[in-house]
Structure 1
Amino acid sequence: MASLRRTAEAGAGPLRRTLTFRDLLVYGLLFIAPMAPVGIFGTLQAKSHGAVALVYVVATVAMAFTAYAYAQMVRVAPQAGSVYTYARVGLGRGAGFVAGWMAMLDYLLIPAVAYLFSGIALHTLVPSVHPWVWTALAVVVTTLLNLWGVRTAARAGFAVLAMELVVLAVFVVAAVCVLVAHGAQRGWAAPFTGEGAFSPGAVLSAVSVAVLSYLGFDAIASFAEESAGGARRVARAVLTCLVVAGVLFAVQTYLAALLDPVPAAELAARPGEQGDAFYATAGAAVGGWLQKLVAASKAIGAAFAALAGQAAAGRLLFAMAR
């Protein structure tokens, strides 16, 4: 362990340590997005036979092993570059080179998809503006924020994250009010036990899709050289980010499953309706205003998820070039 740490510290670079624990947590949650399950809720509901909340509990436990590994490695190799640095220090330069470029694909493709999603979503809210205009605007704004500096980007990200959490809180309060006033569409335990016979295979099949919602918490490790509290604070932020995301995912999918008027079996037979299942549930149970509010939050949140991915990609390239 000591030899690995000496190898890692040999190439340390002059990045400014300005990020607080809150900043690190913001970057991680931005990349993940507090309402990440919205887009795949219908798919998970259908695949798990209605046990969608259990799916996210299991997925959080599964991802905890990865989070713990990152927390340990960032203490040993407290440098920018995340998985590239860990592979280079632990396995050698060749393995680090391959791991770095594989991670780079992740940091290129996920923000690209996020930007496109943001443009399409904003176009549905404002049809008079072409989706490519919204997409280009999202790219320009987030790139300028990243160029302005990591602290400025973190402050802007905190504002957007706060907005997303407020929208999520509005959904939770509205859902609870509807459930108290009108009751649930299915048993209160159904989001954990499923509709009908419980199927472990169906749950695990859905977990393989649900883990995609957690992509991004590892990006926190890319800011190891900019954390004001050192590697220990980065490790704590990685673990905290996973726990917070897991709780948010389980709560919102549990409430949405109770409100969803369409049985899981019927949803499985209509794959075309799975992508909009969460929005349709929010609109039918609460009102069209909540459906639009969630859509707007997801659109803006996607652009800033790309901001976090873009920042992580910059740190990865810096580490590889160094």
Structure 2
Amino acid sequence: MARLKRTLSLGSVVLFGIAYMTPIIVLGTFGILAETTQGLVPSAYLVASVAMLFTALSYGRMAAAFPVAGSAYTYVRKSISPKLGFLAGWGVLLDYLFLPMAIWLIGAAYLHSAFPAVPQALWVLAFIGVTTAINVIGLNLAKSVNNVLMLVQFLVLAAFVVLAVHYVLGDPSKPLWSLQPFFKDGVQFPLIMSGAAIACYSFLGFDAVSTLTEETHEPRKNIPRAILLITLIGGFIFIAASYFVQLAHPSIEFQNADSAAYEIARNIGGDLFVSLFLIGLIVGQFTSGLSAQASASRLLFAMGRDGVLPKAFFGTLSERFGTPVGSIVLCSVVALLALEMDVTTSTSFINFGAFLAFSLVNLSVIFHYWIGGKQRGPRELVLFLVFPLIGLVADLWLMVSLDHLAIYLGLSWLTVGIIYLGLLTGGFRQQPPEMHFEEA
């Protein structure tokens, strides 16, 4: 079997995970979270960070047990059952397939705020067209400039936070240290949970580094550490950034919640900074969308090559470009749904797939270590039963805290997956084909 070369250190994997998370997204979704939580965005990120921390621990445990690519699909398939593993992969596919749609929708919302004369739909189509063309031709150019673009994104985020602090210090009525962004009388916990369910969108990517297992030095040690560090660092960035932005703009009223940070940027930094912020956000959304579409197309190619999806369409590469053109085009067609969806529904819909996969990974820890491995000492009780159960309950709670339309869409996606699994396995009598992600 083909194996990838181990070239990545712990630091390299952590940087990859943080870059994949696109930290500037904390600004991109700020208005939506502010409206949902009634002005308690940092509180939503705090709850989301705690929930994701327990899930990250489970990912780390399973990455140590199965140091191969495949992430949630591999863990659930090998520890519980191939059929349930397929459904875990189906949930991950929901993330991969629809993530570009949400990314481009957020970018289009901000460009529409800056240039209201241009219809938002036109920006969406432009994102889809340019990104699809680059992915069809190949990613060599994108790879060479990606690090520079990520640096721009981080600098803009840092500048936004610094200007927010400066803005607060310039107003005697706004203290720099306050519990108001975390707690308000009359705001009920279910609202914070609804916000946390959306906030988890920002964390998508901490689990992606588990797919780098075969390319990492000492993966049994470094991958669990990297997953934990990425979650902690990401959580700190999201909580700190949203805290200072919330102080600078405690109101929950915006001209457009989908692009609220554009309005805040103008208040704290003026017209010049608004332009710099917009450049940073669009750069972040473009590079993230480019990577997300490329990842989704490779996943579809792997599924097609291994017979999980129709091979004639999904499992072939372009003779000219050597890329999975059919899968790339399908991703762009799916992204056209952004023309009929808002940011809240699109991000929540994607989170349904994430919470499904996260829940099954937590469950796989219990099956692999506690039930299968019979590791049941006092320490193991905490690590292999209590912690994953907390992660499982937290993920399920966040799932049911999503808006109703997202839940209906997510359940519909899961139903389609179960029906397709039945067809693939001859009425569930056979095992589904196994996917080999390491060759994708």
**What band does the TM-score fall into relative to the shorter chain?**
0.7 to 0.9
Q: Sort the Cα spacing of 1:175 and 1:233 in 2 relative to 1 into closer, same or farther, 3 A.
A: same
Query: Does 2:184 match 1:191?
Result: no
Q: Secondary structure at the match of 1:276?
A: helix
Inter-partner Cα distance in structure 2 for 1:293 and 1:218: 31
Partner of 2:286: 303
Contact persistence 1:185–1:260 (CA under 8 A): no
RMSD of aligned C-alpha atoms? 3.0
CA distances 1:251-273 after superposition (whole Å, capped 9, x unpaired) = 111111111163x3xx3xx7x63
Inter-partner Cα distance in structure 2 for 1:206 and 1:50: 10
Q: Sort the Cα spacing of 1:27 and 1:62 in 2 relative to 1 into closer, same or farther, 3 A.
A: same
Contact persistence 2:18–2:230 (CA under 8 A): yes
Inter-partner Cα distance in structure 1 for 2:5 and 2:174: 53
Which of 190, 197, 214 aligns to 1:201? It is 190
Query: Does 2:164 match 1:181?
Result: no
- TM-score of the two chains, using structure 1 as the length reference: 0.80
Inter-partner Cα distance in structure 2 for 1:316 and 1:67: 25
Partner of 1:9: none
Q: Sort the Cα spacing of 1:47 and 1:207 in 2 relative to 1 into closer, same or farther, 3 A.
A: same
Inter-partner Cα distance in structure 2 for 1:116 and 1:52: 21
Deviation at 1:207, TM superposition (A): 1.5
Which of 34, 37, 51 aligns to 1:45? It is 34
CA distances 1:183-240 after superposition (whole Å, capped 9, x unpaired) = 455783211123x445333322321221222122211111111223423222222111
- TM-score of the two chains, using structure 2 as the length reference: 0.60
Q: Which amino acid aligns with 2:275?
A: K
Aligned length: 300
Q: Secondary structure at the match of 2:178?
A: coil
Inter-partner Cα distance in structure 2 for 1:235 and 1:128: 46
Contact persistence 1:115–1:302 (CA under 8 A): yes
CA distances 1:150-169 after superposition (whole Å, capped 9, x unpaired) = xx83x644332222111111
Map 1:2-41 onto structure 2 (within 5 A). 13-41=2-30
Which of 268, 272, 276 aligns to 1:285? It is 268
Query: Does 2:127 match 1:138?
Result: no
Inter-partner Cα distance in structure 1 for 2:55 and 2:246: 28
**Which fold has the larger relative contact order, with Cα–Cα distance below 8 Å and residues 6 or more apart in sequence?**
1
Deviation at 1:100, TM superposition (A): 1.8
Q: Percent identity?
A: 28
Q: Which amino acid aligns with 2:260?
A: A
Query: Does 2:217 match 1:228?
Result: yes
Contact persistence 1:81–1:315 (CA under 8 A): no
Q: Sort the Cα spacing of 1:144 and 1:254 in 2 relative to 1 into closer, same or farther, 3 A.
A: farther
Deviation at 1:291, TM superposition (A): 2.4
Gaps of 5+ in 1: 1-11
Larger Rg: 2
Query: Does 2:73 match 1:84?
Result: yes
Q: Which amino acid aligns with 1:53?
A: P
Deviation at 1:141, TM superposition (A): 3.5
Query: Does 2:275 match 1:275?
Result: no
Deviation at 1:117, TM superposition (A): 4.4
Q: Which amino acid aligns with 2:180?
A: A
Inter-partner Cα distance in structure 2 for 1:216 and 1:143: 23
Q: Which amino acid aligns with 2:203?
A: Y
CA distances 1:68-102 after superposition (whole Å, capped 9, x unpaired) = 11111011111111111101111232222232233
Partner of 1:294: 277
Partner of 2:424: none
**Larger deviation, residues 223-232 vs 249-258:** 223-232
Which of 53, 63, 86 aligns to 1:74? It is 63
Deviation at 1:277, TM superposition (A): 2.2
Deviation at 1:115, TM superposition (A): 4.0
Contact persistence 2:110–2:259 (CA under 8 A): no
Which of 99, 106, 116 aligns to 2:95? It is 106
Q: Sort the Cα spacing of 1:92 and 1:133 in 2 relative to 1 into closer, same or farther, 3 A.
A: same
Q: Sort the Cα spacing of 1:321 and 1:204 in 2 relative to 1 into closer, same or farther, 3 A.
A: closer
Deviation at 1:124, TM superposition (A): 6.6
Inter-partner Cα distance in structure 2 for 1:72 and 1:145: 35
Which of 27, 30, 44 aligns to 1:55? It is 44
Partner of 1:163: 152
Partner of 1:253: 242
